[in-house]
Amino acid sequence: MRFCENDTVMLLNDFPEYGLKKGDVGAVIMVFTDPNEAYEIEFVDNEGRTKAQIVLPPHQLDIFKN
């Protein structure tokens, strides 16, 4: 699945090294196509502070359905 900037996405895996777990929700802030499709995702805490900002391949993300 292809995502666009500002899409809301959900993690399909845990990333304990970043304090993230499966089901956490973040926003796509950048889309990469070369050399591979990947997305920079920002995750924030309840106060709106950035908790983690990581680049992930599409198979580790799903669109967030509210």
Query: What confidence tens digit (pLDDT) does each residue in 13-42 have?
Result: 999 999 999 999 999 999 999 999 999 999
pLDDT given at position 58: 97
Domain spans, the chain = 8-63
Which one of 2.70.98, 3.30.70, 2.30.30, 3.30.2020 gives the CATH number of domain 8-63? 2.30.30
CA distance 38 to 30: 9
User: At residue 59, does pLDDT exceed 90?
Assistant: yes
Burial class (CB in 10 A: 0-12, 13-18, 19+), 62: middle
Tell me the pTM: 0.92
